[in-house]
Amino acid sequence: MSGRKLVIVESPAKARTISSYLGPEFTVEASVGHIRDLPQPSELPAELKKGPYKKFAIDVESGFEPYYVVSPDKKKKVAELRKALKDADELYLATDEDREGEAIAWHLLEELKPKVPVKRMVFHEITREAIERALENTREVDTRLVDAQETRRILDRLYGYEISPVLWRKVRQGLSAGRVQSVATRLVVDRERERMAFIAAEYWDLAGEFAAEGQAFTAKLSAVDGVKVASGRDFSDAGKLKNTKVVALDQPAAESLAAGLDGADFAVRSVETKPYTRRPAAPFTTSTLQQEASRKLRLSANSTMRTAQALYENGYITYMRTDSPALSGQAISAARRQATELYGADAIPEKPRFYGSRSKGAQEAHEAIRPAGDFFRTPGQVAKELSGDQLKLYDLIWKRTVASQMADAKGSTATLRLGAEAADGRAAEFSTSGTVITFRGFLAAYEEGRDAGRYDAKSDGEARLPQVKEGDAVDAQGIEAEGHVTNPPPRYTEASLVKSLEDLGIGRPSTYAATISVITSRGYVERRGQALVPTWLAFAVTRLLEENYGSLVDYDFTAQMEADLDAIAGGEAQRVEWLTGFYFGRDDHEGLKRLVEDTGDIDARAINTIDLGGGIALRVGRYGPYVETTGEDGELKRASVPVDIAPDELTVEKAAELIEKQADGDRALGTDPETGHEILAKVGRFGPYVTEVLPEQDPAPKKKPKPRTASLFKNMSPETVDLETALRLLSLPRVVGTVTEGEGEDAKEVQITAQNGRYGPYLRKGTDSRSLTSEDQIFEITLDEALEIYAQPKRGRGGAAARPPLAEFGNDPETGKPVVVKDGRFGPYVTDGTTNASLRKGDEVATLTEARAFELLADRRAAAPAKKKAPAKKAPAKRAPAKNAPAKKTTAKKAPAKKSSKE
């Protein structure tokens, strides 16, 4: 068809939205992310496995040329795109406007090899106006941005593939190291080290209840005889006073002073009033959105980015990966107009507000994250289209954007100082402050949240004080001595870790969600509510890196790497020259290759050992951490460390207690009359449990049988559990009863069992599980009670009723399982319980047929990743240099081959 235009974006959702804005001459297809990547070295073609690509799928000796392959699960997609391109007269590459999106566009060019005109189409929001503007202002693929992304990808491959094997040999198999993840882990470990070294200090002060002019208020003791009274911030982490110009009160001194002030005459010593002004926060960047969504919505960084992606792709917000807080002229006008309509003409300042980025390497030409369009829709206007986290996040973004263009909040802050003489002659001074907001300004729309700190921060909320002047008498209605203990540095939350990484200049805000997911999934960090707690495994890994590869986890060095990558993106540095210096070494850096050559000197036992003191050491073992010490008889005593004990909670006393409980071995409960096996009560890493002792077999079997084990219920103790209870636990799961499901020839007997699991007690009937309310129900629930539970609508983890299927069909002809349509996070999909397939463009739930549902599942199975198979031989992909970019230097050993032409 003449004049046909093919537009390629990353995601199906984005494709659907953009397609609705374009005319019939446009076909919009999705690449579904990257189509090519570096393969695992084991997946290289046989002829390349012994060549220069064998170690990394990168030829480090010839300009760090990467070897790319089409991902196995993308071959069908590439074939579809090639077919669509055959019918097109123009190709528009409309991937995201960042380095990753630019790289996807370049890979599409390299793989599809179009023979028609190609235009790079960029936009930061998916609205009709933005898409129309983008069509009129296309450009070429920016190979400098591609260079920067490729350098980052190669750098991460070199770092991970060189350092991770060292961790496997010296700490534990399956671990990983990474340029950002290892530094993020170190940050969390360093904070826990501070908490472990922290010594609490006790200090006292006085709190008084006062009244004047008929108004009650509170004030704190601030000085005695003209010397400031110490507060928490005056103590070091070692529990010592940092400030010699303050006085620390102990309990006797505080109580004596309180008693001496009983009945004393208080008067106002001074009243200071200052104007109060507070400016609104800048519009959201990727980092600040993650931080605020964590504080206010309790969303993880991963959930925030996933939700924001859906909002962007469906045209509700602008692009969600940006370091820039700047707003376009249209957005500023929209925000000011909406603030005026909702809060009045005096709610906006005379001139618009402009925000600049603090980051030197802010993402290329992006706006802040804001509601899409030249006219913003309020949360109320989109409430019928959005729900759950999407509506909450849109509401947060809308409020922050509108508030950013509103007037300052204004008021006054008064500081009141009171004084009296105690019975023993000491002069005591109390003080209090209050802020009165006289004009709320932007606070009418939005107020920024804060991370918890070590010391209580003053509130900006309104607090009125009586209208008094110097010399006025004040009635003291009660004065009490109060004791306090200093707090250790707070653990990182996702919000505060993201802030620290950004402040240090480490990594990209767009990658922080993935980084936090990696360090938690690898077992380096665990969550306790909002807090991030490092595991002992993280201590061992961090110590190995600090002691042997210090520069790689040095905060300044890592930040400089980020700056260097930004310089490559700007054409100010050369990719090959920089990678050569990083890998082979330069004047200020030994080089990664040299760093990892001598790993034999690393003492694995020392790396995995932490001295707790008192002759007790913690060791990171293959099956988890344990503490050990040598008894008076010279015998080595060990005890597993339960997972619920954080590193800063494992004191010498606690470790000794664990050893004492487990030192005498396991508690024998008796013999199982059915098997003759001895039954023991033990305490392990995951808490107390019972197990059986299997007899030795001669000769030993190739596959050693595993003994039965069962965790104790929460109301049981290893010191008091008896043999009868242990045998009941070991008999789980308990068969509650049997029911008949299906009719006629399809009828079958299905057992309902009761058992304990990771998330508590539950029932299981085939693949259908239901939670129980208590562990005791496992042994007590009857078949009738179980059936009554199954008769109720299934509820999710949060307690909400599970939504019924949108449509139901018969059994899939291939698997024999019933097929239904469900509503998922990314839209409706069909499933047989094993395979899920999203509905495609043109598929509607209301008109979907059974045959079409079966076809979608069959296509999805066919597109599933194939078993590992060497890809066909393919020449390494190479790239032409950017126009007007500095020429790239070659390595000394071998000049890179000629670049493939694509200009």
Which residues are annotated as catalytic? Answer: 319
| Other beta carbons less than 10 A from residue 14's beta carbon | 21
Amino acid letter, 223: A
93: helix, coil or strand?
A: strand
Instruction: Label the pairing between strands 90-93 and 118-120.
Output: parallel
C-alpha to C-alpha distance for 569 and 661, rounded to whole angstroms: 59
C-alpha to C-alpha distance for 378 and 886, rounded to whole angstroms: 48
**Is residue 477 a contact partner of residue 211, using CB atoms and an 8 Å limit?**
yes
Tokens of 766: 């085939």
Sequence-separated (6 or more) residues with CB below 8 Å from residue 65 = 58, 59, 876, 878, 896, 897
Amino acid letter, 228: K
What sections of 750-881 are H helices per DSSP? 777-780, 783-791, 850-862
Surface-to-core class of residue 717, CB atoms within 10 Å of its CB (0-12 exposed, 13-18 middle, 19+ buried): exposed
C-alpha closest to that of 172 among 612, 625, 520, 683: 625
C-alpha closest to that of 722 among 680, 763, 779: 680
Instruction: Count Cα atoms within 13 angstroms, Cβ side, for 628.
Output: 14
- Radius of gyration of the chain, Cα coordinates, nearest whole angstrom: 33
In 249-316, beta strands by DSSP E: 266-278
What sections of 113-228 are H helices per DSSP? 128-136, 143-170, 181-197
C-alpha closest to that of 658 among 642, 643, 680: 642
DSSP 119: E
Amino acid letter, 389: D
Long-range contacts of 81-88 (CB under 8 A, 24+ apart): 81/8, 81/29, 81/31, 81/108, 81/112, 82/112, 84/6, 84/27, 84/29, 85/6, 85/112, 85/114, 85/116, 87/1, 87/4, 87/6, 87/27, 88/4, 88/5, 88/6, 88/27, 88/116
Surface-to-core class of residue 893, CB atoms within 10 Å of its CB (0-12 exposed, 13-18 middle, 19+ buried): exposed
Surface-to-core class of residue 754, CB atoms within 10 Å of its CB (0-12 exposed, 13-18 middle, 19+ buried): buried
| Other beta carbons less than 10 A from residue 63's beta carbon | 23
C-alpha closest to that of 684 among 625, 724, 761: 625
Instruction: Count Cα atoms within 13 angstroms, Cβ side, for 472.
Output: 15
**Is residue 794 a contact partner of residue 800, using CB atoms and an 8 Å limit?**
no
**Is residue 579 a contact partner of residue 593, using CB atoms and an 8 Å limit?**
no
Beta bridge partners of 830: 821, 837
Query: Cα angle vertex 562, ends 560, 568, to 5°?
Result: 105
**Is residue 362 a contact partner of residue 277, using CB atoms and an 8 Å limit?**
no
Tokens of 497: 């870790």
Query: Cα angle vertex 255, ends 251, 256, to 5°?
Result: 115
DSSP per residue over 413-428, as a string? EEEEEEEEE-TTS-EE
